[in-house]
Amino acid sequence: MRVNKTSANAKLNMADKIEIGHGSGGRLTRDLIRKVFLTHLTSEELRPLEDAAYIHLKNHNTAMTTDSYVVRPLFFPGGDIGKLSVCGTVNDLAVSGAIPRYLSIGFILEEGFPVESLEDIAKSICETAELAGVRVVTGDTKVVEKGRCDGVYINTTGVGEVVRPLPLNNVKAGDAVIVTGTVGDHGTAIALARNEFDIKSSVVSDCAPLNGLLTPVFDVDGLRWMRDPTRGGVATVLAELSEAADLGVEIFEDKVPVREDVRFISDMLGYDPLYLANEGKAIIIASGESANRIVGMLKKHSLGRDAAIIGHISSKFKGARLRTKIGGERLLDMLEEDMLPRIC
Ligand code: MG
């Protein structure tokens, strides 16, 4: 193997751009990892930079999930791809009744990407992981030629300890449908961040780790099932739930919390907030008797202030449907065509 002496001796500068050599696995890769990633990601499991991290789980009942992040733009009001890549994976564990413990982070970087922006993303990953109480224990960096990817893509795998398994067959007729807050914030924030519309607004993404909000709910007997309504939004989650559980789901338009500005912008752009992505919300199915208690618990948390019971599960019909404000009925189907691709 030929070693490029100039590159090998060069020290990484924050004003630098990502070079193909940063993905070589050689000295430049080490420099990048040390200077950018290890400055912010400081877990003792990561530090040895071995091929695999040794992790310890007290509970042998574990959950594992993975997700790739290709959001455009990389930085948006309320977050960035780094924050999103931690929240998305943490939230998939949390809605599965698990306590998130460990994360792996894989970066695919485009040649020419500013090192300073990569550091901002690393900082964001660090802050969000701390907030969620998870440790980044292993990672990977690859670099592709200019034009072969859009700045940065991230893949995050998460491992958590299962406290409350929540299989879909828990869901029964008579159960309540709860949403933990306003819907459509993330999708709206991303749409506006693309600057394709001449609209000024204060909508920010709801991107947040939900484990702090959801873990206390694991103790409630009547908790049945949870899902985070990301791509495809609340409507798609409920349509999938209805099909998989072979039960009817009915929600009421006037009960679904939607921010005034999100509703206004959606109307203007022809979006439906029920189909827009969320990155800091959960749908919770709970027994009718326990639903009010759960909403009360959620409302005490800053991320659950707008929590509400929005509908119920029924055996009297099939499919998911929306009762409109004027008393009409609309079928909620799974999202067919992505009106807003690359939102996460
Ligand atoms: Mg999910």
> 343 CA to middle of ligand 1, Å?
14
* 173 and 156 co-located in one domain: no
286 lies in some domain: yes
* 94 and 199 co-located in one domain: no
> 65 CA to middle of ligand 1, Å?
9
Return d(Cα 37, Cα 57) in angstroms, integer: 25
> 58 CA to middle of ligand 1, Å?
25
Whole-structure pTM value: 0.94
338 lies in some domain: no
Domain boundary among 103, 137, 162: 162
Domain boundary among 162, 191, 210: 162
- Per-residue pLDDT tens, the chain, 344 aa: give them: 444 444 444 567 777 999 999 999 999 999 999 999 999 999 999 999 989 999 999 988 999 999 999 999 999 999 999 999 999 999 999 999 999 999 999 999 999 999 999 999 999 999 999 999 999 999 999 999 999 999 999 999 999 999 999 999 999 999 999 999 999 999 999 999 998 888 888 999 999 999 999 999 999 999 999 999 999 999 999 999 999 999 999 999 999 999 999 999 999 999 999 999 999 999 999 999 999 999 999 999 999 999 999 999 999 999 999 999 999 999 999 888 877 889 99
What are the Cα distances from residue 126, in Å, to 92, 129, 211, 304?
A: 19, 5, 16, 24
What are the Cα distances from residue 344, in Å, to 87, 279, 326, 332?
A: 11, 8, 34, 22
> 158 CA to middle of ligand 1, Å?
12
> 171 CA to middle of ligand 1, Å?
18
pLDDT score at 7: 43
> 29 CA to middle of ligand 1, Å?
32
* 240 and 130 co-located in one domain: no
Q: What is the rounded end-to-end Cα distance, in angstroms, of the chain?
A: 38
> 237 CA to middle of ligand 1, Å?
9
CATH no. for residue 196?
3.90.650.10
* 24 and 109 co-located in one domain: yes
* 100 and 191 co-located in one domain: no
Domain boundary among 140, 162, 184: 162
> 64 CA to middle of ligand 1, Å?
12
CATH no. for residue 116?
3.30.1330.10
* 294 and 323 co-located in one domain: yes
> 285 CA to middle of ligand 1, Å?
15
| Max Cα-Cα span within the chain | 73
* 11 and 145 co-located in one domain: yes
Q: Are 88 and 69 in contact (CB under 8 A)?
A: yes
339 lies in some domain: no
> 31 CA to middle of ligand 1, Å?
34
344 lies in some domain: no
pLDDT score at 196: 84
* 81 and 125 co-located in one domain: yes
269 lies in some domain: yes
Return d(Cα 130, Cα 128) in angstroms, integer: 5
> 238 CA to middle of ligand 1, Å?
13
The number of distinct structural domains making up the chain is: 2
Tokens of 52: 């695999």
337 lies in some domain: no
> 302 CA to middle of ligand 1, Å?
21
* 269 and 154 co-located in one domain: no
> 25 CA to middle of ligand 1, Å?
32
Q: Which domain holds residue 140?
A: 7-162
2 lies in some domain: no
Return d(Cα 69, Cα 107) in angstroms, integer: 10
> 279 CA to middle of ligand 1, Å?
9
pLDDT score at 11: 65
* 179 and 324 co-located in one domain: yes
* 157 and 172 co-located in one domain: no
> 264 CA to middle of ligand 1, Å?
27
What are the Cα distances from residue 115, in Å, to 24, 38, 256, 338?
A: 16, 14, 42, 32
* 187 and 249 co-located in one domain: yes
> 297 CA to middle of ligand 1, Å?
22
1 lies in some domain: no
pLDDT score at 224: 98
